[in-house]
Structure 1
Amino acid sequence: MLKKYLTREVFELLKERKTSYGSTLLDVIRSGLCNPDSHIGIYAADPEAYVVFKELFNPVIEEYHGFESSSSQPETNWGNPEELGNLDPDGAYIISTRVRCARSIEGYPFNPTMNETHYLDLEKKVSGVLESLTDDLKGQYYPLLGMSRETQDQLIEDHFLFKEGDRFLEAANSNRFWPKGRGIFFNDTKTFLVWCNEEDHLRLISMEEGGDLATIYGRLVDAVSRIEREISFSRNSRLGYLTFCPTNLGTTIRASVHIKLPRLGRDFEAFQEMARKFYLQVRGTRGEHTESEDGVYDISNQRRLGLTEFQALSEMRDGILQLIEQEKALEGTEQSP
């Protein structure tokens, strides 16, 4: 998309612009320049970049999200989590469910423009708020600085902790001053996690085994609401919540399941096409750029911009239920004489 939309005309228009944080066009496009195989190729160096470099961002956002430059993100609407129910009450298909959202903290730039003080100040503010949470959200913050390699590897293996080394983020200057200012919070039951200063300022994650989407989503809604009382988030009236990557705007909600669909997976192209009809994205067992293991897939909602939080969850729920029905139908076909 960078190659498609950074025309000579757009380049000449944007090449000398700067945000009030000092971010330039080079900060926005450097990851795509270093990684020609990147699907998108651009990142926002700070919240203002979406406006200052709108001639580049707007067409990318429109193509990826189907969100026109004249459109506006609806107001936040979490809806009633209880209406989502349990997607797999018998536990036959869904291994685990995860709902996460990203947030950027008002007054701070994003990774390419953040200095060491920004990282440390933000971490201090965030960890203080997180460690004041009570009840089922009560937990502890663990800074990455000083954490043993063994502990890090175990948390990564458990799908709790992010890891360094993504070449797209590295090229975007996302890993500067690593591991300073980075860390992870999780509650005592390890069903609620927060990543601090990984790709975004905050990644808030609610998860547990099984398909009880109502409980998992409800926990996230409660956590975000409590944290927002203490910290102001960056939100734009047109694009919704602002984050580092233009693929993750609006609600920033990603609701996903690890689900066993081995029969659907036999014809992967047809499987993907079916999922797209329900606005779902299919990934391998361990996420983006991985393969399925034993017929297990990571499937999530694709649309995040132009709809409310509850609408995004409802689309995901309806799509997953349809895929389960399709898998059941294939099972029935195999069992027929």
Structure 2
Amino acid sequence: MSRPGLEDPGQSTGTKSVGCLAGDAQSYILFCDFFDRIIESYHGYKVTSDAVHESDFNYDNLKGGDDFDPAYVSGCEVTVSRSVEDFSFPTHCSRGERRRLLTLANTALEQLGEDLPGKLYSIDELSHESEDRKVVMEFPPASLIKIGVARDWPDARALWLSKDGSLAVWVNMEDHLKLVSYRSDASLQEAFKTICINVQKLETLYKKLRHTFIWKTHLGWVVSSPAEVGTGLKASVSVNLLNLAKNKRLDDILDRLRLQMETTSDPGVYKISNLQTIGVTEVGLTQLVVDGVKLLIRMEKRLENNGGIDDLVPAQK
């Protein structure tokens, strides 16, 4: 088990986080007394041995997400993390394991590229800017150093990018795989669709390679951080909330909507995303973000016109 919370305690205010990471999937079973308490505290979800976590990748079940007010929303992103059976998580991954994981990813992504053409870049390649990509990475991110996964950098770390820019897949970073779909047109519906289609394709490809994604019936998809078990999914929308951000009821509103807010480099623009990842399906979590963002925008418009928002505040969750 890794304890990044001791290296970087963080602050008492701001985005909620966990201070521990699992070394492998078995850690969630061997140290269940510890991890179950972390999961319950972070997600507000009681872990029980007879629970059955449900998944829903039917993107047609999502209502809305393609109709945000463009005057307030500037972009969106959906990410999903996956870990592979029979390998330690990145916090304890050996160099040999990491290289085998990269070989598996390369094989699977080559086959994914038959439907969605793309290219796999090593981190060495990403350290030199090129015309055919926008990502440049010269040093390991501070976040990876803090959680102890930057050993042997940049060996066996890579990024796959689709040619149409709809999907990126990080290999051997925070988790074995992390799929990212970002859209500047803020169509969360399309970003979610891209993630659903391709994570299921990769799951099938990894099964054929006899290395399935890690799934526990009572926990769902298992990854290194207790903050992401269940679905491994984060849906976020960048929203202009200049007035609402100053409102004294903001924290209570976010808590009732089961959402979190992060600052961005743009003044007045905040990233709104789901906090919980377990106990709700992928569609359900994304729906929380869609509905929550629309309500927050309504509140922002009210405040711009010096109106009240008390009648818009949802009931306690």
Q: TM-score range by the shorter chain?
A: 0.7 to 0.9
Amino acid at match of 2:111: S
Query: 1:328, CA displacement in angstroms?
Result: 1.5
Question: In structure 2, what is the Cα distance between the partners aligned to 1:144 and 1:218?
Answer: 28
Question: What does residue 239 of structure 1 align with?
Answer: 219
1:52 to 10, 30, 48: 30
Greater Cα offset, 44-53 or 29-38 = 29-38
Which residue is equivalent to 2:312? none
Alpha-carbon distance in 2 for matches of 1:42, 1:220: 27
Which aligned segments of 4 or more residues in structure 1 are displaced greater than 4 angstroms? 154-157
Q: Which residue number in structure 2 is paired with residue 257 of structure 1?
A: 237
Q: 2:289 aligns with which of 278, 297, 316?
A: 316
Pick from 140, 153, 159: which aligns with 1:164? 140
Aligned equivalents of 2:225, 2:180: Cα separation in 1: 18
* 1:65 Cα deviation from its structure 2 partner: 1.1
1:12 is aligned to none
Change (3 A) 1:89 1:125: same
Q: Is the 8 A contact 1:106 1:234 kept in 2?
A: yes
Contact 1:249 1:304 in 2 (8 A): yes
Distance 2:99 2:57 in 1: 31
1:228 aligns with 2:207: no
Structure 1 counterpart of 2:232, one-letter code: T
Q: Which blocks of at least 5 consecutive residues in structure 1 are unaligned?
A: 1-27, 287-292
Describe the shift of the 1:275–1:33 C-alpha distance in structure 2 as closer, same or farther (beyond 3 A). Answer: closer
Distance 1:89 1:67 in 2: 30
- Consecutive unaligned residues of structure 2, counting only runs of 5 or more, are 12-16, 207-211, 308-317
CA-based RMSD of the aligned residues comes to 2.5
1:257-296 → structure 2 map (5 Å cutoff): 257-267=237-247, 269-285=248-264, 293-296=266-269
The alignment's TM-score, normalised by the length of structure 2, stands at 0.85
The percent identity for this pair of structures is 29
Q: What is the total number of aligned residue pairs between the two structures?
A: 295
Structure 2 CA distance for partners of 1:34 and 1:285, relative to 1, 3 Å = closer
Partners of 2:66 and 2:300 in 1: CA distance? 14
Distance in 2 (alpha carbons) for counterparts of 1:281 and 1:316:
10
Matches within 5 A, 1:1-337: 28-37=1-10, 39-70=17-48, 72-81=51-60, 83-134=62-113, 137-150=116-129, 155=134, 164-166=140-142, 169-231=144-206, 232-267=212-247, 269-285=248-264, 293-333=266-306
Question: CA 1:240 to 1:278, structure 2 compared with 1: closer, same or farther past 3 Å?
Answer: same
